[in-house]
Every structure is written in C-alpha cells, then in structure tokens.
Structure 1
C-alpha cells in the first residue's frame, strides 16, 4: 500500500501541489494574529485574547482552511484522472479497484493531515512570537497550554483530514465536478461561522467529530461502490 501511495505522489505535479500548500501555510499562520489584533473578538463577544486557552478557540476553526486543500487533492487524484481517461489505465493494474481507491484516499488524508499539523505549528509559533512583541494575549503560556495545543493539533488535524474527504464520493467519484467539490469544501469550512451567525448553539468538538464521521461514510461509499461508479 505504501508503494501505491508513493505512486500517487509521483503522478502529481508536485511543485504545483507544494506551492499550494505553502500558500495555505503562509495565510493561515498569520490569520490568528490578524483576528487577535482586530475587533473580531469584541464584535463576536468572544474573549479570544484573554488567555492562551481561549485563543485556542480561534486557532481550531482557522485550520479548517485545509479542507480546500483536500478538495484540490480530490480534483488532482480522482477527477482529473477520470477526465483524462487515465483512471481506466489505473484500474487495469494488477490490483483491485477498491485497494486502488483506498491508496488514493490514504494519500489525500495523509497529505491533509501532515499539512494541517505543519500549519498548526507555524501558526502557534507566529502567534507566540507576536504575543511576545505586542502582548496581544493576556498572561503567559503554561506547560499545560503547550501540552493541550499539541494534543489538539493531532486530534484536529485528523478531523480536518477526514472531513476533507466528505466531497469525495458524490462530487469526486460520482459527479466528477471540480467546482462543486470546492464549493462543498468552502461550505464545510464556513459551517461553524454560519451556525454562530444564526445563533445556533453547538459544541465545536461534537461538530468536528460529526464531520469526521461523514468523511468516513464518504470513504466507505467510495470504496464500496467503486465498481458501480465505473471508470468512464
């Protein structure tokens, strides 16, 4: 399976994909500081600058931006291969279609997971550095804050990786629609903001868990019905 995942990487335009990831990293590493320095907190009634623990509430939804990166990978790994008629060639390999789809899915999930972890690290370093210079967060981080951030980084990166697979079955394999795949990712990324805008109370951790389960369901359907979906 590892060799098939490596093959998926080699088939991509690696410079383009890496460049896209770097753009996300640069944007997301500065967004927490931008929000902390703006009137976002007072406008929403959320005191995200009162402590490092509360700033975490801002950091988590920002990293949902990597759902767009997942949508881009679905386009490269699945949709483009269908449109270029190279999926039929892939299905001709001495490997079952289901195993091939699993390898592609694992590649996307691992790529999003790794990139999200890197983004968390960069955003954390940037936010901490600006706080030292500008004192934008009250108090100082404790060992418990660092440990909590590390744990949430792993958990939330996994949730983002799974949630990024939600568009896979219907928009990726079935409809093969690039625009709708991206629109779906944007909608999922903005879902917490939309719920808050309409005053709908929700538990963020529960919401991310549900999105993860929906992503797993999308993967299951993709693997389960790949023979019915076909390669044309």
Structure 2
C-alpha cells in the first residue's frame, strides 16, 4: 500500500501538491489578515474576542479550505480516471484493484489530515506573533488553552480527512468532477459555516461522525471494485 502511495505521488508530481498546499496556506493567512485587521473598526460585533476564538476561526478556515482542496484531488485521482476510462489501463496491471483505489484514498486522507494540522500550526503561530505586536486581543495566552486547542485541532483534522471523502460518493455516481467539488462546498457551507459565532463543526461529535460515515460509505462504494466493469 505504501509503495502504491509513493508511486501515485510520483505520477502526480509531489511538488505540485506542495505548491498547492502553500498557496492554500497563503490564502488562509490572507483571509485571516482581513478579518483580524478589520475587526478593531467593528467593536460592537467582532469576529473573535479572544486568542482562543481567533485560533478557532483559523481552524475553521483551514478545514473548509482543505475539504474543498481534497475534492479537487479526488476528482483528479479517481473521478477523472473513471470518466476518461483511463482507470481501465491502471487496472490492467497485476495489482489488486482494491489496493490501487484505497492507496489513492489513503493518500488524500493523509494529505488532508497532515495539512489541516500543519496549516493550523503555521497560520496560528503567525497570528499569535502578529497579536503579540499589535495587541488587538489583550487576553493572556495560556498553556492550558493551547493544549486544549491542539487536541481539538487533531480531532478536527481526522474529521475533515474523513469528511472530505463524502463528495467522492456523489461525484462517482455520474463520474462528474463538478458534482464532486460542488458537494464539498455544500458540506463546508453546512458544517463549517460560522453563524453568530456558532458552527456545527464546533460540536466534535458531528465532524467525527461524518468522518466515520465518509470512510464507511467510501469503503462500501469500492468493496466490489474487482467485479465492476470500468471499460
């Protein structure tokens, strides 16, 4: 399985994935900059009132970004190959079909999980540093809060990694790339939208349950891939 993931990374050019992640980090940091520096002018209803809320906002933006990013990867790695029927050539190799498909899925799952954590570390660390200079949020930065946030990020990363598989099921039915990407956006709008400081994803049971559901449904979708006609 690990060897298949390495081969898939080489085929898709790892540098392109790295550049994509870097651009995503910059976009998240840019969006947070707009929110952070615009909020002092909106004293009645700021987006966040403490550093803990600021870090939660960053986590929300990170997960939303990489759930959509994962749908693009899934479209490229799986949906497009089924649509163009190039998957038939891949299945001609003397390798178990399930291993090939699950190697692709594992790559997207791990990529999403790692990037959610890394993006939170980088962007969160950046804005903690910015706040130490500008001081718009005056509450003290406590170790206990950081540890609790770190644990939450870890669990939310798992939730996002599993949740990002759900759009694949919708897109696979019609072998449609737009359906896959639009489905991910709908999921983000429902689960990650921030309404008056509340988000469904803040209830950890919801993203974790959706993650398990995404993994289960994806497994059921491909469990009979050996008997499927992909020609």
Superposition TM-score, scaled by structure 1 size = 0.85
Check the 8 A contact 1:117/1:154 in 2, yes or no: yes
Return 5+ residue gaps in structure 1 as ranges: none
1:94 is paired with a residue of what secondary structure?
coil
1:60 is displaced (CA, Å) by 2.7
Q: Over residues 152-198 of structure 1, what are the superposed CA-to-partner deviations in whole Å (9 max), with x where a residue is unaligned?
A: 22211111111111112231x3322111111111111111466838x
Check the 8 A contact 2:21/2:115 in 1, yes or no: yes
Within 2, Cα distance between the matches of 1:43 and 1:222?
Answer: 50
1:102 is paired with a residue of what secondary structure?
helix
Q: Over residues 188-224 of structure 1, what are the superposed CA-to-partner deviations in whole Å (9 max), with x where a residue is unaligned?
A: 1111466838x99885323212321231133222322
Within 2, Cα distance between the matches of 1:5 and 1:159?
Answer: 21
Residue equivalent to 1:166: 166
Q: After the TM superposition, which residues 101-140 of structure 1 pair with which residues of structure 2 at under 5 Å, given as runs? A: 101-140=101-140
Cα distance 1:68–1:48, how it changes in 2: closer, same or farther (>3 A)?
same
Check the 8 A contact 2:71/2:184 in 1, yes or no: yes
Q: After the TM superposition, which residues 12-51 of structure 1 pair with which residues of structure 2 at under 5 Å, given as runs? A: 12-39=12-39, 48-49=48-49, 51=50
Q: Say whether 1:74 aligns with 2:74.
A: yes
Deviates more, 1:118-127 or 1:82-91: 82-91
1:56 is displaced (CA, Å) by 3.5
Q: After the TM superposition, which residues 202-213 of structure 1 pair with which residues of structure 2 at under 5 Å, given as runs? A: 204-213=203-212
Check the 8 A contact 1:113/1:157 in 2, yes or no: yes
**Matched residue count:** 229
Superposition TM-score, scaled by structure 2 size = 0.85
Check the 8 A contact 1:159/1:212 in 2, yes or no: yes
1:150 is displaced (CA, Å) by 2.1
Return 5+ residue gaps in structure 2 as ranges: none
1:139 is paired with a residue of what secondary structure?
coil
Residue equivalent to 1:219: 218
Give the CA RMSD over aligned residues: 2.8
Within 2, Cα distance between the matches of 1:109 and 1:200?
Answer: 23
Check the 8 A contact 1:113/1:160 in 2, yes or no: yes
Deviates more, 1:89-98 or 1:105-114: 89-98
Cα distance 1:61–1:7, how it changes in 2: closer, same or farther (>3 A)?
same
